[in-house]
Each structure stands twice: as C-alpha cells, then as structure tokens.
Structure 1
Amino acid sequence: MPPSPKVLARLRFGAPLDPRNNSLNFIRLILALMVLFAHSFHLVGAGNGPGFKGENLGGWAVAGFFGISGYLITGSRFNNRLGTYLIHRIARIIPAFLVCLVVMAAVFAPIAYSLQHGSLHGFFQTPTTPANSIFANMFLKINTYDIAGTPAGVPYPGAWNGSLWTLYFEFICYLIVAFLGTFAFVKRTPWAMVAAFLLSVAVWANIQRIDPYIQSNLDFNLLARLLPFFLGGAVVKVFSKKIGLSWQGAAVSAVLAAAAIFGCDGFGNQLAAPFLAYLLLWISTWLPSPKIVMTNDVSYGAYIYAFPVQQLLAVFGAYHWGVWIFTVVAVFATMPLAIVSWLAVEQPIMRLARRRV
C-alpha cells in the first residue's frame, strides 16, 4: 500500500511547487525581457553585451526558458496521452508563431520598405517575398530572416526576428520527451531521465569529436547545446515527488551549479542545468508576482515580438539613442503586442484545444 499524501509530504525535502501559486509566468517574462535587453546591444551596434562563461544575458535567459519548459512539459507528457500532449504543445506554440510571421510580413516589413524605397512598388515580388517569408518559416525552422530586403540601413540588417530560431529546437525537445514518455520504465524511475540528461551533456562535451561525422551540422550543434537545459528541467520534475523546493535545496543547487559552470570548461553550463532549473523553480515559490501576470502568460508574446519591434525602432533611427533608452522604449512598444497575442490568439486557442481533447 503506497504511503498517504501526508506521509509523502513529511518525507519530501521541501514543499512541492504549487501550480496555482507561483511566479513562473513572471519569471519567464523577466527572461523574455532579458533577451530583449541582450538583443539591444546587437541592434544598436554595441557588440554582444554583458555575459559570462561563453553566454551573453540572452543565452542564459534562453537556458532558463528551456529549464522551466523542461520541468513543465515533462509533467504534461507524464500526465497525458501522447495525442493530447501533442495537441496541447502545438496549440501553445504554433498559432501565435504563425500570426507573428504574418504581422511581420504584413505590417512591419511594408513600413520599412516604404521608408527605404518611398513606396510599396515591388514589395510583393522582391526576394525574400512576403508570402515566401511566411511559407518558408511556417514549420518553425527559420529559413529566411529578411522580408523584401528589409530591414536595411540599420546596424543589424537583413533580420526581422532573431528570437524565433529557438522555437524549432524547443519543439524538438517536446518530441524527445514525447518519445521518452512512451516507455513505462521512464515514468517508473527518475534515473532514466537522469541518464538521458547525462547523455545529452556528454554529446555536447564531445561535440568537436562528433562534428566530423555530421559535417558540423548547425542544427545538430544548436540542439546539442540547448537540449541539456531542457532535460535538466525534466530531471527536476521526475524527482519532484521525492524532493520538493526549499531554501536548503536551493543553496545546494547554487553551489553545485557554480562548481559545474566554473569547474568544467566547455560543458559546465549544460551540466549545471538541473541545478539552475531548481533555483528558478524555488525562486518562483517566493518571488512576488503581479496577480494579472499569474493568470495571463504574456512571456511568449513578449519573446516573439520583441526583436521585430526593436528592428522597426531601429529603422526609424532609434538605435542612435543608445542601449538603455532603446531598451526601455522597446519594452513599452512590445508589451501591447504581447498582451494582444495572449488575449486574442494564445489563450483562446489553448482553451479550444483543452475542450476538444
């Protein structure tokens, strides 16, 4: 006979994450704005910006996104049939992504093209054509970054959205967890996910030895770099029934994360992934969050619209303002789009998906 929930609660080292009372939405919004800030340096022509151990702030923010996502998505997979899981994942990521592609092609690019050429003459036939920019990218893999030769005359020309590329690899992570979840032993023992995580770290640690066999495939390299962060969050999830979230666990995680990051050159960031995920999840248990953000997750919209908003500002010459003013204006210009994306696209589609499965 399994122990009662009260007994499990006493045995657990710390409290479990309350799915209805945490600040994960707020933390993800902060991470999205960190990416915006990191991109500001590139988009005003000020270099890579601050960072450490091979990653700028944007890279670390993406690692945080993947860690949190790994935790949540693994829980979704283990609690749902495969079909339901895939429908939920598609509903969460694809519709808003497609709308973003259309908005860039139908609103952002025409404005930039008109400023560049004085009219829209030739806009719909100029490579990369607006229609092709949508079609070529609609399956998450970003194949084209410009639209009709825009944006131009800016410090970072030829790219409307330098954030969307990560979504392709996040969805591959969804599929990997979907596959792992088909095996009963993966659900029965947390050590199966630990083994998958360690294998992913080993692949990244030996990527230079692997490259000759895959012709240095960029997609493989990017997935190898990001997958450990996702599986790190998955590791925290599979241990969550035995190990809750506590300040003691956070202190140990901070020490182990620092030891991995500073002690293992080349793969320490990835090896630290479970401990970094644990820290973010623990922070979400005590960090105050605006109530409206707790029930409205605008972080995805902020992430996908920040870069094109910043580029449009740059087209109008805002890159002359410098990083800080440029960033503040970009935040205020991005948030209305993020809110509309949540209210008009993401939330309704997810509600529909939940009702249909």
Structure 2
Amino acid sequence: MDTNLSGLNKTADTTQTQPLASRIAGVFAGLPTAAMAMEKNRGAGPGFDALRIGLALCILLFHAIQNSYAKRYVEYIPTAFYPVILALLPMFFCLSGFLVTGSAVRTRSVPLFLSYRGLRIFPALAVEVALCALVLGPLLTIVPLKEYFHDRHFFEYFGNIISMVRYTLPGLFTDNPVPNIVNISLWTLRPEFYCYVVMAGLMLTSIVYRPALYTWLFLASTVALAMLNIVTGFGNATSSYPWHVIIYYFFVGIAFFHWRGRLPLHIGLFAAAATLAYILIPFDGTTYIAAFPLTYCVVYLGMLKIPRIPLLQNGDYSYGIYLFHFPIQQTLVHLFPGIREWWLLFPTAAILTMLFAAASWHWIEKPSLKLKKRFDFLRTWRLARMMSADRA
C-alpha cells in the first residue's frame, strides 16, 4: 500500500514540475488540425465557400445601412457591432491568403498562377464595369447622352478593369444619400492585385515554398509593424483599415496555411480567439496583434461543414455578390426613394444581387474557369525546364 502511494506521489510531483508550456501542448496534442480537416475534404476547407458568401452578405448589409442614411448611418449601427464591421474585409483577405497559397503551392508556376487568378477575377469584373458604364449609366444619367459618352469620367471608368479605380460616371446617382458613387466596393481591387504580385515574387524566390523561411520573415515583419503601430499609430483604423493593413492580412493567411499542420481546431480555442479579436480590433496600437486571433477564427470556420442555403449550393456566388451589390443598391435608392430604410433596402437588394451573382457565376465565371485547361501548357513547359536543368 505504501509503495502504491509513493508511486502516485511521484507522478503528482512529475506533473507539478512539468513546464506549463509542455502541459498546455499536451492538452492540444490530441486535437484535430486544420491539415487533417483539409485531407478529409480533398485538400480544401469545407466551410470556406459558405463563409465567403456570409461575409459578402454582411458587407451588403453594411452598405445597405450606408446607402439608406448617408453620414447618419453610424446612428443605426450599435457600437457593439463596430469591431465586427471592421473585421469583414480583413477576414476576406486572410481567407484569400490561405486559399491562394494552396493554389501557388499546387501550380508552382508563376505564369500559371497568374493566369488562374486572372480567369477568376477579370471576366466578371469586366462585365460589371461594362454594365454600369454602358447600360446603367445611359439609362439613369441626368446629363444628355452625347455629353455622357464624351465625358472623360465615362472613359476613365473602364480603368476599373485593370485596377485604376474610378467611382463616378457622368450625372449618375447625384441625388442619392451617398452621391455620385457607382460602386465603392471596387476600392479593394488594387490591394488584391498587389497581393497577387507579391505572391508571384514569393513564388519566384521560392520563399512561399519554404514554410520556415517564410515564417521567420513574416514574424520579423510583424514585430516591426506592431512596434510602428504602437509608437506612431501606423495602421490604426478609422472607419475602415488602410489598404496596407488589408494586404497584411493576406500574408497572415499565407502563414496560417503553412502552420495548418500544427493548428489545432477546438470550439474553446475559437471562442477565445473570437473574444480576443473582438476586444483588440477597436483599439489603437493592436492592429497587427489582432490579426492572429481573427485569422484563427476564419480558418476554424473554414474547416467546418457549414450548412448552405439550398439556393446557394450550385456555385460560388460570393464574388458576384461583392461585385454587384453596391450599384444595385444605388439604383434602388435612386428609383424608389421610399426604400431608404435599411430593413427595406437590404432584403430587396439581397434578392436582386443574388440573382445577378447566380447569372454571373453560371454565365461568366464558371465558363471562364473552364478555360484553365488552355493554360496547362505552362505547367508542362515548367516541368520540361526543370527536367532540362536536372540533366544539365
């Protein structure tokens, strides 16, 4: 009996003297990881599509409030929702960073990677820009059509297709609560293009293929940015985050993709991360620190099998929702002044937007993505070069 008690005491002493970090690591050691969840779903997170649609609809709701009340919109948004609104675009970008890294690692070819990105982004964007400039503008402008088609703003608007962002068309939406703006969502195009250009650079230098090297460079940059943020306020949010912060979230997504094999998934960790992100986001000096718990939340949700609305199961409508919702809202507000209440504008715009998004997916985006096979020669060309280099 004494011997058994002695053994128990030794075990207890060992547990007490074990470092706290090791004990915590032991707790998480048996949890499933993001990599495991992806392996069960053919290399993808099962919840990312639903998450993208959810984020796009949240942005649609926020813009419905803005387009209904203009500068007074802040009166209609409870202060408690401010961190959530600030988090929407960063969540989109860290999600994009996570997923796009998978594409980069699979293709291992810069021309092929950029071709795939171009097929995903440009066709629907070109159609949206053309519809606004060539259909919506002529129908609703208050200036004569001859003047409309000769105005420099008309020609400049097509620059949106190549990220030369322009918000106005001649005589369009001049009396709306948010006047003159055709599609404010287009401002994120330039940061997105920058992300792809830098990703191409990371591929050319092979940094993105070396998780340890990328992690060290990323963490060193994060420390420098966090210190700059604390000391000078660089990167602090006002009504939204600056474009360079949005880009930073893309690179956080890349890091989390590399860490996916050591990223435990647990509802308790998600709750803690969500709480921490919610607390940190509104404060100055926490911009780059908040990115870590927020990105964990995005990855966790992306690994869940989130039920999707039956009508939205036949395609990825998130990009179409994001692209088309703002001009649709502006048109409704222009044609029906009585709809300038968010609870009227939101459901009406959401229904119309989803119709446009579905049409965009089935008639533009999906057919364009089928053209990926046309670019497979870039993969073959790359393999041929590698084999030639090996023989040399």
Kept after mapping to 1: 8 A contact 2:37/2:45: no
Identify the residue that residue 75 of structure 1 maps to in structure 2.
102
Alignment equivalent of 1:32, drawn from 56, 67, 71: 56
Letter in 2 for 1:79: R
Pairing 1:53-64 to 2, within 5 Å after superposition: 58-64=85-91
Aligned-pair distance for 1:154? 0.9
1:138 correspondence with 2:157: no
Structure with more of its chain in helix, by fraction: 2
Q: How does 1:149-188 map to 2 (within 5 A)?
A: 149-188=171-210
Match of 1:122 among 147, 157, 163: 147
Instruction: Report if aligned partners of 1:77, 1:85 keep a CA contact under 8 Å in 2.
Output: yes
Is 1:106 paired with 2:130? no
Change (3 A) 1:302 1:259: closer
Deviation at 1:120, TM superposition (A): 3.5
DSSP-derived class of the 1:236 partner: helix
Output aligned runs, 1:39-50, within 5 Å.
Answer: 39-45=63-69, 46-48=72-74, 50=77
Deviation at 1:29, TM superposition (A): 1.1
- Measured at CA, do residues 209 and 242 of structure 1 come closer, stay the same or move farther in structure 2, by a change above 3 Å? closer
Tell me the residue number matched to 2:13.
none
Compare CA radii of gyration and give the structure with the larger one: 2
Q: Classify the secondary structure of the residue corresponding to 1:148.
A: coil
Are residues 194 and 231 of structure 1, via their aligned partners in 2, closer, same or farther at CA, if it must alter by over 3 Å?
farther
| Distance across 2 between alignment mates of 1:83 and 1:166 | 23
What CA distance in whole angstroms lies between the structure 2 residues aligned with 1:224 and 1:201?
16
1:64–1:277: 8 Å Cα contact kept in structure 2?
Answer: yes
| Deviation readout 1:194-224 (Å, 9 max, x if unpaired) | 632652574376369598xxxxxxxxx8332
Task: State TM-score, norm by structure 2.
Answer: 0.75
Partners of 1:54 and 1:254 lie apart in 2 by: 13
Give the TM-score taking structure 1 as reference length. 0.82
What stretches of structure 1 move > 6 A for 4+ residues in a row? Answer: none
Residues 1-357 of structure 1 mapped to structure 2, 5 A cutoff: 13=33, 15-17=36-38, 18=41, 19=43, 22-45=46-69, 46-48=72-74, 50=77, 58-80=85-107, 81-113=109-141, 116=142, 120-129=145-154, 131-134=155-158, 136-142=159-165, 144-190=166-212, 192-193=214-215, 195-196=217-218, 199=221, 202-203=224-225, 206=228, 209=232, 222-254=242-274, 256-258=276-278, 260-261=280-281, 265-284=283-302, 285-290=304-309, 293-294=312-313, 296-318=315-337, 320-357=339-376
The size of the alignment, in residue pairs, is 332
Local SS of the residue matching 2:288:
helix
CA distance in 1, matches of 2:157, 2:91: 29
1:167–1:254 Cα change, 3 Å: same
- How far has the Cα of 1:22 moved from its partner? 1.3
Pairwise CA distance, 1:231:
1.6
Distance in 1, matches of 2:326 and 2:258, equals: 34
Q: Is the 8 A contact 1:194 1:235 kept in 2?
A: no
> What RMSD over aligned residues (CA atoms) do the two structures have, in Å?
3.0
Contact in 1 for aligned 2:233/2:284 (Cα 8 Å): no
Instruction: Using the TM superposition, give the Cα deviation of residue 170 of structure 1 relative to its aligned residue in structure 2, in angstroms.
Output: 1.2
Percent of aligned pairs with the same amino acid: 25
